[in-house]
A and B are shown apart, each in its own frame.
Chain A
Amino acid sequence: MLVAISFYLLAAVAIAAAFMVVASKNPVHSVMYLILTFFSAAGLFILLGAEFLALLIVMVYVGAVAVLFLFVVMMLDVDFVEMKQGFLQYLPVGALVGVVLFIEMFLVGAAYFSGEPTTVVERDPNVSNLEAFGEVLYTEYAGMFEAAGLILLVALIGAVVLTLREREGVRKQNILEQNARTRATGVEHVDIEPGQGIG
Chain B
Amino acid sequence: MTAQMIQFWTDLTPFAWFGLKLAQVGAFVLILSVILAFLILMDRKVWAAVQMRRGPNVVGPFGLLQSFADLLKFVFKEIIIPSGSDKGLYILAPIITLVMAFLAWAVVPIAPGWVMSNINIGLLYVLAISSLGVYGIIIGGWASNSKYPFMGALRSAAQMISYEVSIGFILLTVIFLVGSMNLSDIVNAQAGGFWQWHMFMLDFSKPMSLILFPIMFFMGVMFFISALAETNRPPFDLPEAESELVAGFMVEYSSTPYLLFMFGEYLNMTLMCAMFTILFLGGWHAPIDFGWENPIIPPVLWFTLKCLFMFFMFAMVKAIVPRYRYDQLMRLGWKVFLPISIAAVIFVSSWVVFFGDKL
Contact = CB atoms under 8 A, between A and B. Distances in A.
B142 A2 contact: no
Interface in A1-41: 1-2, 26, 28-29, 32, 35
B131 A130 contact: no
B102 to A, nearest CB: 16
Contacts of A71: 138, 154, 157
B142 A55 contact: no
B89 A55 contact: no
A67 interface: yes
B132 A58 contact: yes
Contacts, number: 63
A52 B135 contact: no
Interface of B: 14-15, 18, 86, 89, 119-121, 124-125, 127-129, 131-132, 134-135, 138-139, 142, 150, 154, 157, 161, 164, 181, 327, 331
Contacts of B327: 173
B89 A51 contact: no
Given A67-B138, A74-B142, A130-B120, A32 B132 contact: no
A70 B89 contact: no
Given A1-B14, A28-B89, A59-B131, 16 more contacts: A2-B15, A28-B86, A32-B89, A55-B121, A55-B124, A58-B128, A58-B129, A59-B127, A59-B128, A63-B131, A67-B135, A67-B157, A70-B139, A70-B142, A71-B154, A129-B121
Contacts of B125: 55
A128 B120 contact: yes
Interface string A35-62: 1000000000000000110010011001
B131 A51 contact: no
Contacts of A26: 86
A62 B132 contact: yes
A67 B121 contact: no
A64 B119 contact: no
Interface string A70-92: 11001000000000000000000
Nearest to A28: B142
A173 B129 CA distance: 37
Q: Which 7 A-B pairs have the closest CB atoms?
A: A63-B131, A58-B128, A59-B128, A2-B14, A55-B128, A55-B124, A128-B120
A67 B124 contact: no
A55 to B, nearest CB: 5
A170 interface: no
A35 B135 contact: yes
A175 interface: yes
Contacts of A173: 327
Contacts of B18: 2
Contacts of B127: 59
A178 B193 CA distance: 44
A152 to B, nearest CB: 14
Contact of B124 (A32, A35, A59, A70): A59
B169 to A, nearest CB: 14
A52 B121 contact: yes
14 contacts: A1-B14, A28-B89, A29-B89, A52-B124, A59-B128, A64-B131, A67-B138, A67-B157, A70-B139, A74-B138, A74-B150, A129-B120, A129-B121, A130-B121
A175 B127 CA distance: 32
B142 A175 contact: no
Instruction: Among A63, A64, A67, A74, find the residue whose CB has the most chain B CB atoms closer than 10 A.
Output: A63
A59 B104 CA distance: 13
A168 B138 CA distance: 36
A59 B134 CA distance: 12
B261 to A, nearest CB: 18
A51 B121 contact: yes
A55 B129 CA distance: 9
Contacts of A130: 120-121, 181
Contacts of A35: 135
Given A1-B14, A28-B142, A58-B128, A64 B161 contact: yes
A160 B150 CA distance: 26
A52 B119 CA distance: 11
Contacts of B119: 51
A52 B120 CA distance: 10
A59 B168 CA distance: 11
A76 to B, nearest CB: 12
